[in-house]
Structure 1
Amino acid sequence: MSHVWVFVKEEYSEFTSAYLAKNKEESLGRMMRRIVYQRGFSFRRPTKSVLSTLDLEAEQRKFASEVGSKISATYARSCIFNADETAVYYDDTPTRIISERGAKKGVKIKGRVRSERASVLLIVSATGQKLRPLIIFKGQSGVRVEEEVQGHSDRVMATVQTNTWMDSRVWRDVFIENAWGGFVCDTQPGPLAIYVDNLKCHVSTKAQDAFATWGTEVVPLPKNTISVLQPLDVGVMGPFKQKLRAITLSYELSVIRETNRVPLRERLLKLQRLPVPEKRKRLVERVVAAWDAVSESSIKKAWSKAGL
């Protein structure tokens, strides 16, 4: 918005000078926003990309025609998968609050700089099938989080990692050998293919060998192209995380209403001071509900949009 503001002031200096002589700058900003919307445009948060839009589209067409078509000809649609992880948060700490107009002091909130996070590995097939999510919590290897989470729900898998990131141990030992191997044995014995991004642990020789023991071919996506080629990024992760935020907000509002005899400040503090096992339980419930809300049709559309 600031760049638009500068452009208007530079290119239409006489108009802006006359307008600002009678109105405040905030009024000019609101008028510019209205004009932008009236002309069919909107303000969007840009994402950084190494490749231009034209280069991305060209790379998408090339990969889809050369690799995607080969995979589709070799494997049944129900045997083609995509897997990737995304960060999720125990709570959605607000980034903006309401403060008194004209207040000169900075607004500060006591608490952590960042919200507590976990990672969720999502897996979908080209026919819209959803596998159980794998939630990676923060912790040292050997902590018995798996049993704790299984006691809350058998619809997710769980493990721990020092930084809640996907690494070689989690990818091979927990996902490929345990989760993926169990899925292949129980429901999909046929030859399979799985698209993954070029994260080192995803495409390492050891990972590909581990997948091969379960009759699965690893198909790495070209570098810097997941925004257009990875079905999960194209049309699944966004709706999943939107639903997760909505569920989190709904839960927090319900908790606040249930204890309305207690001062609001105390109710909000209670939400933040939940024991770690309780926070994990709440996150599991939200992930399950948000994953349920992602429809089969939206997953199929994402695959189609990715050209795979």
Structure 2
Amino acid sequence: MNWIKRHQAAWLRYYIARKKPGTGYQGLLRLLQLFCHRHGFTRQRHGKQKQKQSVLIEVRDDFVAEFHLQYHGFGPDCVYNVDETGFYYDMPPKYIWSARGGDANISTGEKHSMRMTAVLTVRSNGDKLPILFTIRGTPGGRIETSELPTYKRPLLCFVEPSVMLLDNFESHVSDASYRIVEEELSSFLCAIPPNATSICQPLDVGVMAPFKRYLRDEWLNEEMIDGEDGDDFDTPTAAEKRKAMVKRAIAAWDRVTATEIRNNFVKALPSIEE
């Protein structure tokens, strides 16, 4: 896709213009898949072992019952779900195409070095909070010493006690995390059961997937930024790429609707019948 964006930009714009909104990326991907299949390439992808659906549903039901028992007094504007996702300037392929019988490894030059993390936060009433972007920085640099101390506190301040739903990642459920949420924010940290975010976490149930799809759509419509790879975060080219990534993520986040968010909170935390 990068080759097409760089060398066949006019054709790409014409191709996307003929497609329905939001279908350009998938249409182009399908076209490339047919081309690869016709010329003898095979598609490979790492597999992951998953828990049985019946086990996941049982875990979710137990979690939901405990959640509603402990936090039934919190309204939909006081229940938050926070999760992060990484994305790249050049959106990485999910699959590797290789000649039949050939090596499926990716060379060093084809790997994506410009990476950014987007922290997404939603409330069960459908609200979206602004994205928190995390990039590689310099310890003791200007942002850490001069800017974070002045703006972090207002951004993390909740108007009233709230519940924060987080996955079971080690740093999320550490003693320090519980202390910060409870003592500094006067709120509650609720850890989602391990290996159950696909069914218990609203963002994973049905918000993250469309967000990433919108990211790919926005990337496909971007102009290529010429220059070096941008692994050095002090170069002007790297700064331009970071700016493009931030704009891309904001545009994709804007396309996620309040209805989608509310519906997926209902799926992840269904009401318990008395």
**Residue in structure 2 matched with residue 197 of structure 1 by the alignment:** 167
- Kept in 2, the 8 Å contact 1:78–1:126? The answer is yes
- Kept in 1, the 8 Å contact 2:90–2:112? The answer is no
Shift of the 94–202 alpha-carbon distance from structure 1 to 2, 3 Å rule, reads closer
- Kept in 2, the 8 Å contact 1:49–1:224? The answer is no
Figure out how many residues of one structure are paired with residues of the other and give that number: 221
**Residue in structure 2 matched with residue 141 of structure 1 by the alignment:** 139
Report deviation, 1:51: 2.4
Report deviation, 1:126: 0.3
Identity of aligned residues (%): 31
- Kept in 1, the 8 Å contact 2:113–2:229? The answer is no
Report deviation, 1:143: 3.8
Amino acid in the other structure paired with 2:268: A
- Kept in 1, the 8 Å contact 2:126–2:262? The answer is yes
**Residue in structure 1 matched with residue 266 of structure 2 by the alignment:** 304
Secondary structure of the structure 1 residue equivalent to 2:109? coil
Amino acid in the other structure paired with 1:64: V
TM-score with structure 1 setting the length: 0.61
Report deviation, 1:116: 2.1
State whether structure 2 residue 173 is matched by structure 1 residue 211.
Answer: no
Shift of the 129–69 alpha-carbon distance from structure 1 to 2, 3 Å rule, reads farther
1:174-195 deviation digits (Å, cap 9, x = unpaired): 8xx965x42464xx42110011
> Which has the higher relative contact order, 1 or 2, with Cα contacts under 8 A spaced 6 or more apart?
2
Report deviation, 1:113: 2.4
Shift of the 70–251 alpha-carbon distance from structure 1 to 2, 3 Å rule, reads same
**Residue in structure 2 matched with residue 281 of structure 1 by the alignment:** 243
Amino acid in the other structure paired with 1:300: R
Bigger Cα Rg? 1
- Unaligned regions of 5+ residues in structure 2, if any? 1-36, 39-44, 231-235
Shift of the 137–105 alpha-carbon distance from structure 1 to 2, 3 Å rule, reads closer
Report deviation, 1:68: 3.5
Which consecutive aligned stretches of 4+ in structure 1 deviate over 4 angstroms post-superposition? 93-99, 104-110, 144-147, 268-274
Amino acid in the other structure paired with 2:122: V
**Residue in structure 2 matched with residue 168 of structure 1 by the alignment:** none
Shift of the 145–70 alpha-carbon distance from structure 1 to 2, 3 Å rule, reads same
Report deviation, 1:200: 1.5
Amino acid in the other structure paired with 1:70: Q
Shift of the 109–208 alpha-carbon distance from structure 1 to 2, 3 Å rule, reads closer
Shift of the 271–231 alpha-carbon distance from structure 1 to 2, 3 Å rule, reads farther
TM-score with structure 2 setting the length: 0.68
Report deviation, 1:207: 1.2
**Residue in structure 1 matched with residue 111 of structure 2 by the alignment:** 113
Q: Which is richer in helix?
A: 1
